[in-house]
Amino acid sequence: MEPDVSIETSSMIRIAVLPIGPIPPSHFRDYVSMLVRHHKIELSTISSFYTEHQKSPFAQQPWDSGTLRFKFMVSGSPPSPWEDFQSNRKILAVIGICHCPSSPDLDSVTEQFSAVSKGYSSSLVQRCFAFCPGDSQLEDDRKKGGNLILFPPADRQTQEFHLQTMVQDIAASLLMEFEKWVLQAESAGTILKTPLDSQASLSSEEVIKAKKRRLGRAQKTIGDYCLLAGSPVDANAHYSTALELARLTGDYFWYAGALEGRVCALLMDRMGQKDPVLEEEVKYQYNSVILHYRKSFIQDNAQRVSPLSFELEATLKLARFLCRRELAKEVVELLTAAADGAKSLIDASDRLILYVEVARLFGTLGYHRKSAFFSRQVAQLYLQQENRLAAMSAMQVLAMTTKAYRVQSRASIAKHSLPNEIGSTHTDGGKIHHHSVVSLFESQWNTLQMVVLREILLSAVRAGDPLAAWSAAARLLRSYYPLITPAGQNGLAIALANSADRLPSGTRCADPALPFIRLHSFPLYPSQMDIVKRNPVREDWWAGSAPSGPFIYTPFSKGEPNHNSKQELIWIVGEPVQVLVELANPCGFDLMVDSIYLSVHSGNFDAFPISVNLPPNSAKVIMLSGIPTKVGPMTIPGSQGLVLSDPFRCCGSAKLKNVSVPSISVVPPLPLLVSHVVGGDGAVILYEGEIHDVWISLANAGTVPVEQVHISLSGKNQDSVISVAYETLKSALPLKPGAEVTIPVTLKAWQLGLVDLDTAATKNFSGSTVRQGKDGSSPMLLIHYAGPLENSEEPPTNGSVVPPGRRLVVPLNICVLQGLSFVKARLLSMEIPAHVGGNPPKPVHVENSSSEEVTGSESKTDRLVKIDPYRGSWGLRFLELELSNPTDVVFEISVSVQLENSNNEDSDSPVDRAAAEFGYPKTRIDRDYTARVLIPLEHFKLPVLDGSFFLKDSQTNGTTGKSSSFSEKNAKAELNASIKNLISRIKVRWQSGRNSSGELNIKDAIQSALQTSVMDVLLPDPLTFGFRLAESCSGQDAKLDSPKESDYQVQSTSSKGSVLAHDMTPMEVLVRNNTKEMIRMSLNITCRDVAGENCIEGKKATVLWAGVLSGVTMEVPPLQEIKHSFSLYFLVPGEYTLLAAAVIDEANDILRARAKTNSPDEPIFCRGAPFHLRTRSPTVASLGFKLAAINVNLDSLPKTPEVFSLDFRIWFQNAAIQP
Amino acid sequence: MASTACFMIVSRNDIPIYEAEVGTALKKEDAAHQHQFILHAALDIVQDLAWTTSAMFLKAIDRFNDLVVSVYVTAGHTRLMLLHDSRNDDGIKSFFQEVHELYIKILLNPLYLPGSRITSSHFDTKVRALARKYL
């Protein structure tokens, strides 16, 4: 069998092309390629070389339209035993090719050529073409002539023309030879035999039969020559005769041959035009051909020779003729039939050719899987031959099947895809590849794929092609490692190593082997080097460009919708960058990665290769780094296509794990600020409320000056940063490269929350008191900075390109430890009775028992003790804070109150205002101790007692409409505002050790303390009682007539502070109604001496009286006051206390609520504040210190009785000097 | 029963989702590969032939040496392919029809993703039983 046969093969003249003498292969190929171009010679072009010696037997030759076809058999071919049967199998001409520079002796060339051409006995024409002859050789040639034709050196075109002429000459010679042969054959007749004919001596009967057959065979052969001579009509005539004769003699083999020839003649006549009728005709005729070849099968010599190959060839010829998509079914049937014949073929090479042809035809038909199947059969036949050349052929054939089995090498994909899609980008190619890589895993044809790859590996090893072997082993290992046993994996690893050893170093294979590489991430610049796009228009150029929160995506950000899909990276010239990749070695052997680095084709990157050792079944994330060197876009091609199905979790799922590759651009150098905290970068350990200064040093480590800078805060606990010396930084601009600036930042440690406390407690328990500031509760300084707007070196371009700015994040690592903690806070009040008509007492010291030293000035302290205008007594309020110290250091507490001095007429001077802050003695709290700190509060009360405060309690008086609720709200707001105002003026500072100090946050504590006792502290009593001496009413009136001044201070002291004993003293009691209702009551007045004995009634009464002192019934109109006069006569000089009390009749709900009574029947008892009255003997003027017992108003204390652990005394100094 | 037979279900995406060697002949690794190669190649013919007829059973559509490929194409273009060396068209047809029913039951399983590999051992047992019965 012969490869590449078609119906037209019968009309082709075979010419052997042989190299003569030594000739470089490249030259030989070059010359042959020039020659083979002339495979079709128009008859019209050769007429000039043709001379008609006698009458041509080709009467119908179409000189104007016919052609001669050449089939060049490069390097010749052995003579076929079937050349009598089909004349086109003969080598009819020999062309020698000689390269003159390498064969100087032309004589020897001629000799060699004639020797070689003798081997081709059937050849009719011989020519030897000698190329590139030297001058001497040209000289030499002129003498001789003959078959040697020299092609003088000339340009390519001339040479080709020369060659064409020579080929035309050959064609003409051949034509003349054919004529000669035909004429001879017609006259003399020839004996034509095939291997099919019996070799044994013929019987007489057979001799007669053979004679008859001989005529038919001769006609068929003449027909063949007519076809070769390009005269189909003549051929047809001869074939028809031959058919007739062959049919008569039952010479089926030759009949089929003649029939084949006739079909060829038919097609030649139509000159390649195909129409359905012709197709049908050809199909019909060829089926007949196939049938007759089959008929000619003779059993007795089937072992030796068989016409089967002709039958199969005919089948293939028909299949090739019909090979179109529309006729696929018929072609498939033909090819299947042909393939079936393979097992009956005796010659292995025939089978090979058959499979090759079948594979080719299936391929032409578009049946790639079929084609691949037969190609693999071919490869197997080659592999059976066990020699290197066959193995190479096997390898090449298998390489063609890889596409159908989807195990292509990357190199072949690149080769095929590039010429097809010129415009396609790199990514497209990558995509195709992804598909194929994934399909390896997805497709369960993996058995086949593995077999094919294994065969490729085997053939490559046998053929000695290390690159192909490496590639196959790599593909096998990479794609199918889960299906390969560890032993097999090791074998493949060894194959890889062996192949690699034989490859020249630096060889690259397009196919990846292990390890799997997956792009892990492109780490952004660390927050210290963050790059921020600069908006040249806005003052705050960083705004909007940086993510403004912990979320990568917020639905509220107004960025472009596709902003998130494609990440953009900016790399900076000269600053190292990193890319993280994950390497996985899923196989059972150690993998040593000698060198892996970022390979960037854009040429603006210096990569640092690293080497990795991967143990079996392991994965590592490694960091590849490098430095961008030039401005421009950058692509990392490896990562473009680096989308791999996860080798560990992929099978069965159709998901792709897709890591988007950001587009990277490299920008010119930017300034780079580097920060460090002066004194170490560790966390600052602070107690709650501690105030601390931190110095942060900023240095420009870049090569560009910093020209713009802005500091902002972010993160949690931002309010703990009290101040940042922004101006210092501003004034240091522009910060030249290498320059450094230090800015102070004042911090105040925040309060720990409950959770924090818990963790702190556990941490403390476990022994580590230092909590790391990494829990994210520390605030951060965001420093946005940028270099100059435009590069001075470059001319200002359109202005659109502004070098980006950067952001430096300086985390202020604060570790807050639990400091002093509040246990309790409560409000205490103290009453000091007022003097009737006397000088107001002036308190001297407020001595805290727990403090050692006494500080403070009298005048400041005085102001805290004030007359309660509603109660008519001196009141002093304390906020008692109970603090515990759970830490292991000592705290010292100092309290300061900023005094309200706005309506103090006396202290107008600025000095007083500045000094209006009063420091109290310090309180020391030892570790693990609890201590109480007293903070004096200014007294204040609301002017009117009405229902608004009891709304919650007394819903029954629903007559109050919306207006009242409004006023209630107002009152509440007023109350809250006053509380807030009060609190804001109190500062509790602490100090611990030499250098840590801070402030306690007491706001919440006070608020809660005030809330519980707010009623008692702030609300006035329903009734206010006051005493005065009846004669000196003018001066004393003020204290009751001006209740609006909440902090009214009695400055205008009357000249007479006391009354004389043994004298009738007329007095008045003033009762004021603080409610909005009329109050009816009965008033009682009592007088007590120093011992607290009632000195009006009883046996030892020391005071006589005139007027009514008990059961005085009176009605007080709302917000009015009423006087009741009486007189007292003191028998003994000394201190007396006047007390007024009243029982209110028909008390309303408000009064009941104020009195905190529940039963409506209970009488409401209202007691006034005690008033002191000092009586003296008229002769002695006295100056002294008086000790007053502290009268604690128990109403203001919590209801649960408690032991007053802190005893305190207050000294009052009587400063009034009596004359 | 046929001495050699290889049954395979190929999903509409040309991916085999089930394969079974159901012949009585001794199993050889190489032969199994060869069977798969033949069935794989036959897909080319099925893809054209399936559209020329309304019948699901396409009969013997391809052969290689002594082995014949019979194909049954479901409505969803899942191909049941049988490689066999016996000529028992009726038996093969019945086999295909019953396997088709089994396959439909597999498809009805809400946990089965159409086009994925059939891993049910029950299905495998049933198919082998059918093969013994009809082939």
Q: What is the pLDDT of residues A322-338, one digit of tens each?
A: 888 888 888 888 888 88
The helix (H) or strand (E) run that includes residue B79 is strand B79-84
Residue of higher predicted confidence among A253 and B25: A253
* Residue A846, strand partner residues: A1210
- Mean pLDDT, chain A, as a whole number? 70
Phi-psi region of A584 (alpha: psi -120 to 50; beta: other; left: phi over 0): beta
A182-207: average pLDDT: 66
Is the CB of A444 less than 8 angstroms away from the CB of B117? yes
Query: How far apart (Å, rounded) are the C-alpha atoms in residues A570 and A667?
Result: 7
Instruction: Name beta bridge partners: A674.
Output: A699
- What topology is assigned to A1023-1179 in CATH? Immunoglobulin-like (2.60.40)
pLDDT digits (tens, 9 = 90+) for A754-800: 555 554 444 444 333 344 444 567 777 777 777 776 654 444 444 45
Of chain A, the percentage scoring pLDDT greater than 90 comes to 0
Mutate to test the interface with B, among A447, A455, A458, A653 (most CBs of B within 10 A): A447
Nearest Cα neighbor of A322 from A255, A262, A267, A397 is A267
Which chain B residues touch A336 with a CB distance below 8 Å?
Answer: 62-63
Residue A470 pLDDT: 84
State mean pLDDT over A717-746. Answer: 79
CA dist., res. A764 & res. A888, Å (int): 11
The DSSP line for A1032-1064 is THHHHTHHHH-TT-TT-------S--SEESSSE
Is there a contact between A376 and B36 if contact means CB atoms under 8 Å apart? no
Q: CA-to-CA distance for A576 and A192, rounded, in angstroms?
A: 85
Ramachandran angles phi, psi of B57, nearest 5° = -85, 115
Residue indicated by tokens 């039963």: A1159
User: In 10 A of CB A278, how many CB atoms?
Assistant: 14
Q: Which residue of B has its CA nearest to A372?
A: B41
For CATH 2.60.40.10, list the domain ranges present in chain A: 673-750+775-792+799-817, 1023-1179
pLDDT at residue number B102: 92
Tokens 């205002």 correspond to what residue?
A913
Name which of A632, A578, A643, A587 is nearest A607 in CA terms. Answer: A578
Q: How far apart are CA A869 and CA A1039, in angstroms?
A: 6
Across the range A997-1016, mean pLDDT stands at: 67
CB within 8 A of B86, min separation 6: which ones?
A: B2, B3, B5, B135
Strand, helix or coil at B14?
Answer: coil
Are A373 and B15 in contact (CB < 8 Å)? no
- pLDDT band at residue B100 using 50, 70 and 90 as cut-offs: very high
The whole-angstrom separation of Cα A1127 and Cα A1107 is 6
When CB atoms are compared, the residue of A340, A369, A444 closest to B41 is: A369
Pairing state between β A1112-1116 and A779-786? unpaired
Give the distance from residue A491's alpha carbon to the nearest chain B alpha carbon, in angstroms: 19
| pLDDT at position A938 over 70 | no
In this prediction, residue A481 has a pLDDT band, given cuts at 50, 70 and 90, of: confident
Q: Nearest CA to A720 among A745, A748, A683? A: A748
Q: Which residues sit opposite A516 in a β-bridge?
A: A584
Q: What is the assigned CATH class of domain A7-188?
A: alpha beta
By the 10 Å C-beta count (0-12 exposed, 13-18 middle, 19+ buried), A524 is classed as middle
Spatial neighbors of A227 by CB under 8 A, at least 6 apart, are A10, A11, A88, A235, A261, A264, A265, A268
> Rounded CA gap, A1083 and A1074, in Å?
16
Compute the distance between CA of residue A364 and CA of residue A673 in angstroms, rounded to an integer: 68
| Residue entry with tokens 């190299």 | A19
Alpha helices for A778-844 (secondary structure H): none
CA-nearest residue to B117 within chain A is: A652
pLDDT by residue (tens digit) across A1102-1147? Answer: 788 887 788 788 888 887 778 888 888 887 777 888 888 888 777 6
**Delimiting residues of CATH 3.40.50 domain(s) in chain A:** 7-188
ipTM of the complex: 0.93
CATH of domain A673-750+775-792+799-817: 2.60.40.10
- How far, in Å, CA of A272 to CA of A266, rounded? 10
Most confident of A616-630, A750-764, A990-1004: A616-630
Instruction: State yes or no: pLDDT of B76 exceeds 80.
Output: yes
Question: Side chain identity at A820, as an amino acid letter?
Answer: L
* B positions 43-62 inside 8 Å of A (CB): 43-45, 48-49, 52, 62
- What is the average pLDDT score of chain B? 85
Helix (H, G, I), strand (E, B) or coil at A567: coil
Task: Report yes or no: B116 at the A interface, CB cutoff 8 Å.
Answer: yes
Residue A148: burial class (beta carbons within 10 Å; 0-12, 13-18, 19+) = buried
Given a cut of 80, is residue A384 above it in pLDDT? yes
Is residue A351 scored above 60 in pLDDT?
Answer: yes
The answer to whether the Cβ–Cβ distance between B33 and A447 falls below 8 Å is: yes
Query: Residue type at A180?
Result: K
Rounded distance between C-alpha atoms, residue A374 and residue A368, angstroms: 10
| Per-residue pLDDT tens digits for A572-601 | 777 777 777 777 777 778 888 777 777 777
Of the listed ranges A113-122, A502-511, A896-905, the one predicted with least confidence: A896-905
CB contact, 8 Å: A451 with chain B? Answer: yes
What is the DSSP pairing of strand A1171-1176 with strand A1059-1060? parallel
pLDDT confidence band for A1182 (50 / 70 / 90)? very low
Q: pLDDT, tens digit, for every residue of A836-860?
A: 654 443 333 333 333 333 333 334 4
- Beta-carbon separation of A444 and B16 below 8 A: yes
Nearest to A1023 by CA among A937, A1067, A1081: A1081
Task: Give the mean pLDDT of B49-58.
Answer: 86
Contact B48 A328 (CB under 8 A): yes
Does B12 contact chain A (CB < 8 Å)? no
**Residue-level pLDDT at A637:** 58
Q: What is the dihedral of CA A161, A163, A166, A167, to 10 degrees?
A: -110
Phi, psi of A865 (to 5 degrees): -95, 120
d(CA A660, CA A741): 41
Which one-letter DSSP state was computed for residue A557?
A: -
- Among all chains, which residue has been given the structure tokens 């309290």? A895
For residue A773, what pLDDT is reported? 40
Residue (of A134, A77, A63, A128) closest to A104 by Cα position: A134
Q: What is the pLDDT of residue A107?
A: 80
CATH architecture assignment, domain B9-134: 2-Layer Sandwich (3.30)
Of the candidate ranges A92-106, A343-357, A1172-1186, the one whose mean pLDDT is the lowest: A1172-1186
The answer to whether A340 contacts chain B (CB < 8 Å) is yes
Domain boundaries, chain B: 9-134
Place of tokens 């490098």: A626
Q: What's residue A1158's pLDDT?
A: 65
Asked whether residue A962 carries a pLDDT value surpassing 80, the answer given is no
Cβ-based contacts of B117 with chain A (< 8 Å): 444, 652
CA distance A574 to A788: 18
